[in-house]
Amino acid sequence: MNLNRSTAFTLRAGVVLGMALMAIGLVMSMGGSGDTVLRAGILVLILSPFAGVVVSFICLLREKDVFWSAVAGILLLITVSGIAISII
């Protein structure tokens, strides 16, 4: 896996999926429903950068790049701990 291509694909797919969900939710909300689909689209857009870091971390581990995989791992730990704290 190429680091740049994999990360770019993940981010691009997240944006396309999130925007598609938001567009579908917007059309559905004109009929009276669709809030759940809109919220799902927003959630996908929020989680896309996190997924990009996960993909980068995996690619860096496969390339055996110790320094940058450690940086990505620390970033993942900080993000996951922030999510855990905000849920509690």
pLDDT digits (tens, 9 = 90+) for 9-31: 999 999 999 999 999 999 999 98
Per-residue confidence at 69, pLDDT binned at 50, 70, 90?
Answer: very high
Sign of CA dihedral 16, 21, 24, 27: negative
Separation CA 41–CA 72 (nearest Å) = 25
- Spatial contact of 74 and 55, defined as CB atoms under 8 Å apart: no
Q: What is the mean pLDDT of residues 64-87?
A: 95
Provide the pLDDT for residue 10.
Answer: 96
* 48-72 mean pLDDT: 95
Structural domain boundaries in the chain: 3-87
Phi, then psi, of 34 in degrees rounded to 5:
120, 0
Residue of 75, 85, 18, 6 whose CA lies nearest to 46 = 18
